[in-house]
């Protein structure tokens, strides 16, 4: 999706190291999400943010942290506490977080994280 | 939690044939969405069907929703080699006070030329 930029495309983490994945959007969307995808699996929600300076834990938040200081940006930090970080990470946005909005999610092209 | 479950996990067909994928879910939903993912890429939204709708069409795609059986199907007609991808259903539901999209594990579709 041209409106959502994830970087880098590939990232390698050493033992004990924190790494940060970038997600930037120019869609002016309120809500942003981080998902983790393991091989042959669906997506699992890590964190989401409905609005600037607010974010909530998803189903698998342990070992991850986020911030939402600007509407356009929602970086994800994979901390050393995440013992199995190797996965494909996807960022997504929706126009509104309201339950009745019936809006699809728009996805970036992902970051593949591996352990060195 | 994985609410949506797709069936089959993998499907291989010849070009020109129709492909049908099914999705079952467990709780009440606001809508159900289908996404497509090419290898190593992000997900692309295909179609959204609301809980009060029973059928929806978009080009060669046809989606049905049966809320009494908590199931949905995605039909791709006259398939092409370019349709080769993974297809995911996702249910949009309230979880506490938050709205969440929960994805199934996907169907890997291979269309042979």
pLDDT recorded at residue B101:
87
pLDDT recorded at residue A96:
75
Residue with tokens 């042979």: B112
The 10s digit of each residue's pLDDT in A13-53 is: 888 899 999 999 999 999 999 999 998 888 999 999 988 99
Are B105 and A107 in contact (CB < 8 Å)?
no
Average pLDDT, rounded, for chain A: 91
pLDDT recorded at residue A97:
66
Nearest CA to A113 among A24, A26, A17? A17
B72 in reach of chain A (CB within 8 A): no
Confidence category of residue B1, pLDDT binned at 50, 70, 90: very low
B27 in reach of chain A (CB within 8 A): no
Are B40 and A110 in contact (CB < 8 Å)?
yes
Q: What is the mean pLDDT of residues A83-105?
A: 85
Lowest mean pLDDT among B6-15, B72-81, B89-98: B89-98
**Between B43, B102, B104, which is nearest A107 by CB?**
B43
**Between B43, B94, B104, which is nearest A90 by CB?**
B43
Number of inter-chain CB pairs under 8 A, A vs B: 68
Q: What is the mean pLDDT of residues A67-84?
A: 95
B2 in reach of chain A (CB within 8 A): yes
| Exposure on the CB side of residue A116, measured as CA atoms within 13 A | 10
Percentage of chain A exceeding pLDDT 70: 94
Q: What is the mean pLDDT of residues B17-46?
A: 94
**Between A45, A99, A104, which is nearest B33 by CB?**
A104
Is residue B60's pLDDT more than 80? yes
Confidence category of residue B3, pLDDT binned at 50, 70, 90: low
DSSP reduced 3-state for B1: coil
Q: Say if CB A35 and CB A44 are below 8 A apart.
A: yes
CA dihedral B17, B23, B28, B31 (to 10 degrees): -40
From the CA of B52, how many Å to the nearest CA of chain A? Answer: 12
pLDDT recorded at residue B97:
58
Confidence category of residue B7, pLDDT binned at 50, 70, 90: confident
pLDDT recorded at residue A87:
96
Gap between the Cα atoms of B112 and B89, Å rounded: 23
The 10s digit of each residue's pLDDT in B95-108 is: 665 667 899 999 99
Q: Which residues of B5-16 are buried (b: 16+ CB within 10 A; e: fewer)?
A: bbeeeebebeee
């Amino acid at each position: 999706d041209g409106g959502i930029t994830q970087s880098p495309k590939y990232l390698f983490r050493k033992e004990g190291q924190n790494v940060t994945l970038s997600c930037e959007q120019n869609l002016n969307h309120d809500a942003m999400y981080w998902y983790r995808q393991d091989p042959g699996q669906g997506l699992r929600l890590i964190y989401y943010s409905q609005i600037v300076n607010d974010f909530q834990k998803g189903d698998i938040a342990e070992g991850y942290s986020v911030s939402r200081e600007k509407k356009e940006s929602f970086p994800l930090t994979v901390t050393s506490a995440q013992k199995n970080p190797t996965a494909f990470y996807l960022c997504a946005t929706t126009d509104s977080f309201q339950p009745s909005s019936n809006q699809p999610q728009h996805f970036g092209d992902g970051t593949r994280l591996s352990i060195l | 939690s994985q609410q949506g479950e797709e069936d089959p996990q993998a499907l291989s067909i010849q070009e020109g044939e129709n492909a049908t994928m099914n999705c079952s879910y467990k709780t009440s939903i606001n809508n159900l969405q289908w996404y497509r993912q090419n290898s190593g890429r992000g997900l692309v939204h295909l179609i959204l069907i609301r809980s009060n709708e029973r059928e929806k069409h978009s080009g060669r795609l046809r989606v049905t929703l049966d809320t009494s059986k908590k199931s949905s199907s995605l039909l791709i007609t006259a398939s092409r080699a370019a349709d080769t991808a993974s297809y995911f259903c996702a249910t949009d539901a309230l979880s506490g006070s938050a709205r969440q999209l929960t994805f199934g594990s996907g169907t890997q579709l291979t269309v042979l030329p």
